[in-house]
Structure 1
Amino acid sequence: MQGNEAHGPVGPDVWQICRELIPERSVFAFLAEHREALFPAGMFADMYPSPNGRPSYPPQVLSTVLVLQVLNGLSDAEAVQELRCDLRWKAACGLGLLDGGFDPSLLTYFRRRLQHSRDPHRVFTAVRQVVEATGILRGRRRRALDSTVFEDAVATQDTVTQLVSAIRRVAREVPGGAGTVKTWCTGHDYLSGPGKPKIAWDDEKARAELVDALVTDAIAVLARLPDQELGERAANAVGILALVAGQDVEPAEDSDGSDGRWRIARRTAANRMLSTIDPEARHIHKTTHRQADGFKGHLAFEPETGLFTAVALHPAGGTDHTEGTVALELLADETGPLDVFGDTAYSGHHYRAVLTEAGHRVFCKPAPLKPAVPGGFTLDDFRIDTTAATVTCPVGHTVPLGDPAGQRLQRKAFFGELCTGCSLRPRCTKNKLGRILTIRPHHARQAAARRAATDPDWQAAYRRWRPPVERGVAWLVAHGNRRLRYLGTLKNDTWLHTRAAALNLRRLINLGLTRANGTWALTPATP
């Protein structure tokens, strides 16, 4: 049953008696005045469908606490402590001087309701509706896109730890799993407690034997679990065990796997799971020199106003959530054509085509071409006519552009003997057979994008409107928010939307957000 604020504050109303002590244009003062308008009670009705039972703590107050919590990068316990002791927090939440707040676990329960509701991002949606009501984005048709790494909340586990943990989870979650583990597992006493097996870890042979035994146990458990329909938690436990039993191991050097002997693989599996505690966290390569473990956050940013128009958080591994793919998600709710700014991660030919077909102008920096010889000629130095199927090199030699098997997927041009004795060969190729060009189906589109990027007006627009998104990234990760506090994509994506909403609200307040006669408006401060 949904609670409300009708009971009033406990003790003197802090906002009434301390109004002069709280800065006028602050988030605290704004929430104290307009909390109910921003988060009306009806906004949470679907989260409390039953009219029976004990009334919940008012969700309007909990939403206000969430906003202040993510704005300041606090844990649940720290947020409740601020609510008990800081007059600004009490005023923002409509509490009295003697109000002791609530237990920190209530924030966990509220987030859980929020995450599994029909609109987990309703706090972001509420602030976005305020943005739309003010009209601040009207006529502003630029969006800058970027992504950033968020580090996971758990430690990366090695293969042995993952195997032990996954088998223990099956014993806990799967009906009959404990009996299967006890009967068929011999490599370690999984039911005795957590922790690694006790072996001589500096002994390479002992480590190899342990890995072999653990993988054998995992396979035995998967093969001999009772045949039954599993619930979500049990199915997840079995799936995790199957994954960790195969992602880091391979048959021993003198084995094909049929004799059941295994070793640590001499490679890193693609999309490798890092921890059984948070199975969705992944290795992230933001750049070739920067690596991390966790998730990747994506944002669309209006560069003139400094407002987030959309955010998203996804696991870093795989190809389903690359920057180009998520760009379409970030712009899905936009109406009308936009000028879209992004770095090379957003310049893929497919996403560029989709954005262009939607009417957007794309200012995404094309990926640079790599010459066959350092400092030498690139693809753009050749005259390529895909219609006439010819390629002309910088010195003037023309060769046909082949069409293998009539597929027109990758077409090749072979210069062969024409490169023999050519004065420009040192700048063109090191191949003994001469220069070979590979032309892909999207060549014309990408070449046009590279030509457009050389235009001074294009470069001026990119330099002006792309960099502000870095400020938005800095705001998101400030106050220690680079490291996530929660497990899984759903929880962290909900947190990211709430943080973006809080930052948008703070930005609007700084721009003069007010409410008069039931209408949101921006009133700049009088100098």
Structure 2
Amino acid sequence: MRIRDELGVVYEDGRFTGAFGVRGRPGISPAQLMMATVLQFSENLTDRQAADAVRDRMSWKYALGLDLDDPGFDASVFSEFRARLVEGDLATHALDALLARLVAEGLLKAGGRARTDSTHVLGAIRNLCRLELAGESVRAALEAFASAAPAWLAGVIDDSWQRRYGARVDTWRLPASETKRKALMVEYGRDGYHLLAAAHAHDAPVWLREIPAVDVLRRVWVQQFYRYTTGSGTEVVRRRENTSEGGDGLPPGRDRLISPYDLDTRHSLKRDHGWDGYKVHLTETCTPPETTTPETTAATGRGDTPNLITGVLTTLATTPDAAALDDIHTELRRNGLAPDEHLLDSGYPSADQMIHSARVHGISLVTPVLLDHSHQAKARAGYDKASFSFDFDRRRGTCPQGQTSSTWNPCRQHTTDVIVATWTKSTCGPCPVRDLCTKGQQRHITLRDRALHEATITARAEQTTDEWKRRYAARSGIEGTIRQTTHVTGIRTARYRGLPKTSLEHNIAAAAINMIRLDAYWTGKPLDRTRATHLTRLDLTHAA
């Protein structure tokens, strides 16, 4: 592999000291394991296939610095290595170390332009309905009890439990009748409460409550069931329902568990697409490269300078893009790779974010600002907010007819500080163009503070220019990076469970994509910037 010839040592054993013991027999070099893991993702191999490649392929042995007769290692070493990386807080090291080496070689530097976008990631779980979730949560707790305290469990349940929970819920057909499904849900609820009560009884071993599956069962039951005692002393268990259906409410999607085996997966919906899993944000450089001619490529042996992934952030599926932007910038600054300009789609920024990014991170956001959604602006007729002028020093607004506002009230709306400028009825009533201004008897306009208002006005005006559109056109290239990452490394579906391991997976995948692109650069392979289908390549003008 050319990565060793060009960059030398990328990963060093000393960086992994905190995750590996210093006593006992020396183990396999963690630096070699890190490189082998990145190579594994570059070809989307399983652990067993990667272990075979380490043992059989000469190119892998050379990249890892192994002797040709090195026997390699067992496939289980990969999973143990990943677990140590997560426990040692080294989930981002695969990408961080590579970026640091590229900075040292002059292939990366701060400044320039970068672009970011997000895509959905499917969790390594089965989609469960609420009935299946309840049944599988009870079964998971029973499995944990049967493994940790079989004698205790035998005194808590009878043989009927084995018939109900002996096999996974998804291996048998659920009742088709809605009545029977509700009855089964209540039965699951009673069984779950019975197990929780037994595990928290005063005569039960205290450590039973600390079993993870018991805590999962408790959390699922808080979200899915409630129980109460009637006046006659009868205990009633019911399934929670939405308030719109007359129930007492369900937790919001950002907090609702959807699997007893992965507590970080969430159900999310973006436009008409829903999924259960995570969301990953990829950031790559997109500074216009110097034009490479065939003569230059032949002389230097180098191709076009590649765009490289400089940031990866994995979040819950329900986390909005706007909430992730500050973390993205923080990570870019941590690696010393904060861009001057950051190209984003309209899901990330707001006027607040534009000012915050410039002041705190020194990053200028190039992104379409959401337009005015008033009925005047949508109809492109009448007087929208842009038709008015506002004097923040004198605390007044002036309408297109030259009338000034009567009040200027700072207030708070939906946790946001705003200013409401109002014109009186006596001013708006006799106005000959009132129909172009408002449907009511007087006009109210809500503003942000001066800095946010001026930033929004400036951004909206700038994004209508041809120069801005030309700069922003480069943002679309991130879609190709997302496709390459999901198809080549297979991150569309998570390999592992839990946010920490999924984040580790995405950082390793980003390092793998960077190595693939660097290999194309070092071998003089040009970037395919004009990909076209076979149909579009046909010249049908002469055939006609």
Report the TM range for the smaller structure's normalisation: 0.7 to 0.9
Q: Secondary structure at the match of 1:69?
A: helix
User: Equivalent residues in 2 for 1:251-262 (5 A)?
Assistant: 259-262=236-239
Q: Residue 370 of structure 1 contacts residue 378 of structure 1 at CA under 8 Å; is this kept in 2?
A: no
Q: Residue 298 of structure 1 contacts residue 326 of structure 1 at CA under 8 Å; is this kept in 2?
A: no
RMSD: 4.1
More displaced stretch, 42-51 vs 105-114: 42-51
Q: CA deviation at 1:481?
A: 2.8
2:387 aligns with one of 369, 381, 388 = 381
Segments of structure 1 that go 5 or more residues without pairing to the other structure are 1-27, 514-522
Q: CA deviation at 1:178?
A: 9.0
Equivalent AA in structure 1 for residue 276 of structure 2? D
More displaced stretch, 84-93 vs 324-333: 84-93
Structure 1 176/462 Cα, relative in aligned 2: closer, same or farther at 3 Å?
Answer: same
1:295 aligns with one of 278, 284, 288 = 278
Per-residue Cα deviation, 1:34-90 (whole angstroms, up to 9, x for no partner)? 79722344344443323313x323334322321111111222123234444544334
Match of 2:51 in 1: 80
More displaced stretch, 262-271 vs 109-118: 262-271
Match of 1:192 in 2: 166
Structure 1 416/173 Cα, relative in aligned 2: closer, same or farther at 3 Å?
Answer: farther
Q: Residue 164 of structure 1 contacts residue 196 of structure 1 at CA under 8 Å; is this kept in 2?
A: no
Q: Residue 268 of structure 2 contacts residue 317 of structure 2 at CA under 8 Å; is this kept in 1?
A: yes
Match of 1:468 in 2: 477
Structure 1 406/64 Cα, relative in aligned 2: closer, same or farther at 3 Å?
Answer: closer
2:346 aligns with one of 344, 347, 352 = 344
Structure 1 261/247 Cα, relative in aligned 2: closer, same or farther at 3 Å?
Answer: closer
Match of 1:23 in 2: none
Structure 1 183/469 Cα, relative in aligned 2: closer, same or farther at 3 Å?
Answer: same
Equivalent AA in structure 2 for residue 247 of structure 1? Q
User: Equivalent residues in 2 for 1:509-520 (5 A)?
Assistant: 509-512=519-522
1:240 aligns with one of 202, 206, 216 = 216
Equivalent AA in structure 2 for residue 131 of structure 1? L
Match of 1:57 in 2: 28
Equivalent AA in structure 2 for residue 126 of structure 1? A
More displaced stretch, 223-232 vs 317-326: 223-232
Structure 1 171/400 Cα, relative in aligned 2: closer, same or farther at 3 Å?
Answer: farther
Q: Secondary structure at the match of 1:170?
A: helix
Match of 2:329 in 1: 328
Q: Secondary structure at the match of 2:281?
A: strand
Tell me, in whole angstroms, the C-alpha distance in 2 between the residues paired with 1:406 and 1:106. Answer: 56
Q: CA deviation at 1:492?
A: 1.3
Match of 1:354 in 2: 356
Q: CA deviation at 1:204?
A: 1.6
Structure 1 116/200 Cα, relative in aligned 2: closer, same or farther at 3 Å?
Answer: closer
1:400 aligns with one of 401, 406, 415 = 406
Per-residue Cα deviation, 1:189-211 (whole angstroms, up to 9, x for no partner)? 66534326978722222222222
Q: Secondary structure at the match of 1:153?
A: coil
Equivalent AA in structure 2 for residue 158 of structure 1? C
More displaced stretch, 133-142 vs 305-314: 133-142
Tell me, in whole angstroms, the C-alpha distance in 2 between the residues paired with 1:365 and 1:380. Answer: 17
Match of 1:144 in 2: 115
Match of 1:317 in 2: 318
Structure 1 450/331 Cα, relative in aligned 2: closer, same or farther at 3 Å?
Answer: farther
Name the structure where helix makes up a greater proportion of residues: 2
Tell me, in whole angstroms, the C-alpha distance in 2 between the residues paired with 1:448 and 1:273. Answer: 43
Q: CA deviation at 1:473?
A: 2.2
User: Equivalent residues in 2 for 1:428-439 (5 A)?
Assistant: 430=439, 432=440, 435-439=443-447
Match of 1:478 in 2: 487
Per-residue Cα deviation, 1:385-426 (whole angstroms, up to 9, x for no partner)? 444333344455543344267999333344574666867666
Per-residue Cα deviation, 1:460-508 (whole angstroms, up to 9, x for no partner)? 33234x3333333233212233212111111111111112122223333
Per-residue Cα deviation, 1:429-469 (whole angstroms, up to 9, x for no partner)? 55x555543334444443343234345444433234x3333
Q: Secondary structure at the match of 1:38?
A: coil
Tell me, in whole angstroms, the C-alpha distance in 2 between the residues paired with 1:524 and 1:214. Answer: 60
Q: Secondary structure at the match of 2:483?
A: helix
Match of 1:112 in 2: 83
Q: Establish whether residue 225 from structure 1 lines up as the match of residue 199 from structure 2.
A: yes
Q: Residue 138 of structure 2 contacts residue 188 of structure 2 at CA under 8 Å; is this kept in 1?
A: no
Tell me, in whole angstroms, the C-alpha distance in 1 between the residues paired with 2:472 and 2:410. Answer: 39
Match of 1:501 in 2: 511
Per-residue Cα deviation, 1:361-406 (whole angstroms, up to 9, x for no partner)? 2323212332235424543333334443333444555433442679
Tell me, in whole angstroms, the C-alpha distance in 1 between the residues paired with 2:286 and 2:321. Answer: 27
Match of 1:277 in 2: 261
Q: CA deviation at 1:163?
A: 1.5
Q: CA deviation at 1:347?
A: 1.3
Structure 1 367/290 Cα, relative in aligned 2: closer, same or farther at 3 Å?
Answer: farther
Per-residue Cα deviation, 1:134-160 (whole angstroms, up to 9, x for no partner)? 122346432222222222121221112
Structure 1 200/291 Cα, relative in aligned 2: closer, same or farther at 3 Å?
Answer: closer
Between the two proteins, the alignment pairs up a number of residues equal to 482
Q: Secondary structure at the match of 1:410?
A: strand
2:370 aligns with one of 341, 364, 367 = 367
Per-residue Cα deviation, 1:296-339 (whole angstroms, up to 9, x for no partner)? 11233211340122212121225698232333333332378722
Q: Establish whether residue 124 from structure 1 lines up as the match of residue 107 from structure 2.
A: no
Q: Residue 486 of structure 2 contacts residue 492 of structure 2 at CA under 8 Å; is this kept in 1?
A: yes
Q: Establish whether residue 157 from structure 1 lines up as the match of residue 128 from structure 2.
A: yes
Using the aligned pairs only, state the percent identity. Answer: 23
Per-residue Cα deviation, 1:242-290 (whole angstroms, up to 9, x for no partner)? 33224356799x99x99543354457832132212211011233x4233
Tell me, in whole angstroms, the C-alpha distance in 2 between the residues paired with 1:425 and 1:186. Answer: 78
Match of 1:17 in 2: none
Equivalent AA in structure 2 for residue 391 of structure 1? G
TM score, norm. by length of structure 1: 0.77
Match of 1:412 in 2: 420
Match of 1:39 in 2: 11
Structure 1 327/95 Cα, relative in aligned 2: closer, same or farther at 3 Å?
Answer: closer
Q: Establish whether residue 391 from structure 1 lines up as the match of residue 365 from structure 2.
A: no
Q: Secondary structure at the match of 1:279?
A: coil
Match of 1:488 in 2: 498
More displaced stretch, 180-189 vs 150-159: 180-189
Match of 1:205 in 2: 179
Tell me, in whole angstroms, the C-alpha distance in 2 between the residues paired with 1:231 and 1:450. Answer: 60
Tell me, in whole angstroms, the C-alpha distance in 2 between the residues paired with 1:268 and 1:187. Answer: 32
